Structure 1
Amino acid sequence: MKLVFVIAAILLFPNESIAWSPFSLYCYRCVSTHPGCGTPFNWLWYWGEVCPEADDRCVKIIERKGVETIITRECLSSLRSVRTDIPEDHYEGCRPAARDVRLAHYVNNSIKELDIKRDHYDETTWCFCYFDNRCNGASTILISIPLIIFAYLLANCS
């Protein structure tokens, strides 16, 4: 009888009931020019967002030019359309960026600020993570407060 009431409660609160995502990957998505995203990283500002693809990876890109360091945290699927220096190896760990010799090959542009050849930074490092709990979570179960109160009252009233 209690099971019927719990199922009825789930159906009565469809927007606030169980939200379960077994194949979601949560990654931090920010750039170190944003507050709290640099070094040290403040995870209280960025809780993580769901990556668009099921077989995604979390990526941290570290770009250095002298003493200037830019850190980008993002999902790999979001970077595939804008970056050509992604390393072929996407396993856990850090590795240097791939060099694209054809990038801007047919472009005759003398404006250095555009950086169409992506050679502004002296060193670019890509770090991939998939199993680390700090940079992603494999699945989450969110249960609403009204559902918990309703189930508690239902169990104690009978």
Structure 2
Amino acid sequence: MARQIILSFALLSIIHHGYALMCYQCAPSMPGCNEFNWRGMGYLGSSCPESDDVCVKLIERKGANIQITRSCLSTLEAIRTDVPADRYEGCRPASLDIRLGNYVNNSIKEYDIHRNYFDETTWCFCFLDHRCNGSSSISVPMIGIVTVAIWSTFKIMFSN
């Protein structure tokens, strides 16, 4: 009985991040962040810091140039002010922040203080599945993997 209690505590300490949402996280400067088969590359994403987080795919267009950023919403909220108010599943245009760079007199246009360099900015939100901010819609349910791992551990330990 004591062995089962110790084993239960050991398993619970291993999966303390079991309910966090897994999202792909990359910046436009990283190779392969644009439309790419992430599953073929073997990258399984990172868990989001918040328990009620949302995966985000941020698409910014300037003519034919497209830059894609993938991350958790709580990570991007700290540095972006153009997050749309509606954050349910789907894609929406960025909101306009009229207070952004209001009291700044800067003649260097590369700083992009008013955040108006891109012609179109689209925010895509998803939270119903792990790694849903990728380019393909195929994903492995994490609860199935954890269940199989726990079942096989118990089967190996208690087969004697």
Choose which of 61, 67, 89 in structure 2 pairs with 1:92: 89
Q: TM-score, normalized by length of structure 1?
A: 0.79
Q: TM-score, normalized by length of structure 2?
A: 0.78
2:156 alignment counterpart: 152
Q: Distance in 2 between matches of 1:78 and 1:8?
A: 36
Please show how residues 2-151 of structure 1 align to structure 2 within 5 Å.
5-10=3-8, 14=10, 18-43=14-39, 44-135=41-132, 140=143, 141=146, 143=149, 148=153, 151=155
The alignment yields a C-alpha RMSD, in angstroms, of 2.9
Q: Judging changes above 3 Å, is the alpha-carbon distance between structure 1 residues 45 and 152 closer, same or farther for their aligned structure 2 residues? A: closer
User: How far off its partner does 1:23 sit?
Assistant: 2.7
Q: Which amino acid aligns with 2:20?
A: S
Q: Judging changes above 3 Å, is the alpha-carbon distance between structure 1 residues 103 and 129 closer, same or farther for their aligned structure 2 residues? A: same
The structure with higher relative contact order (CA 8 Å, sep 6+) is: 1
| Structure 2: 5+ residue stretches without partners | 134-139
Count of matched residue positions in the alignment of Structure 1 and Structure 2: 149
2:137 alignment counterpart: none
Secondary structure of the residue aligned to 1:61 is: strand
| Structure 1: 5+ residue stretches without partners | none
Structure number with the higher helix fraction is 2
Structure number with the higher strand fraction is 1
Q: Percent identity?
A: 48
The structure with more radius of gyration: 1
The structure 1 segments of at least 4 consecutive aligned residues displaced by more than 6 Å after TM superposition are none
User: How far off its partner does 1:8 sit?
Assistant: 4.3
Of 41-50 and 112-121, the range deviating more from structure 2 = 41-50
Q: Distance in 2 between matches of 1:153 and 1:73?
A: 40
Q: Judging changes above 3 Å, is the alpha-carbon distance between structure 1 residues 134 and 81 closer, same or farther for their aligned structure 2 residues? A: closer
